[in-house]
């Protein structure tokens, strides 16, 4: 599985592949301090689930902080 921005605006990429009894996550950033960087995480099943829960919690928190009230019409 691979996810990335369709319009190229974000420029980052995320890929996930099976790795033994766990998963391998690769996050690619095109420019971090002037250089491209790829972070690789090899996680077992429990770590992958904990990581996914943490990402979902962070995304939910960020959404609540961004949209603090009803949309204006």
Q: What does the pLDDT read at residue 61?
A: 84
Average pLDDT, the chain: 84
Q: What does the pLDDT read at residue 60?
A: 86
Domain containing 21: what range?
2-64
Between CA 33 and CA 36, with CA 60 as vertex, the angle to 5 degrees is 15
Q: What does the pLDDT read at residue 73?
A: 61
* 71 occurs within a structural domain: no
Average pLDDT over residues 32-61: 92
User: How many structural domains is the chain composed of?
Assistant: 1
Average pLDDT over residues 41-59: 93
**pTM score of the predicted model:** 0.64
């Amino acid at each position: 599985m691979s996810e990335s921005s369709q319009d190229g605006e974000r420029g980052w990429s995320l890929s996930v592949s099976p790795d033994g009894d766990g998963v391998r996550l690769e996050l690619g950033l095109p420019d971090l301090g002037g250089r491209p960087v790829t972070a690789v995480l090899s996680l077992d099943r429990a770590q992958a689930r904990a990581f996914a829960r943490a990402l979902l919690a962070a995304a939910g928190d960020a959404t609540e902080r961004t949209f603090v009230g009803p949309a204006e019409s």
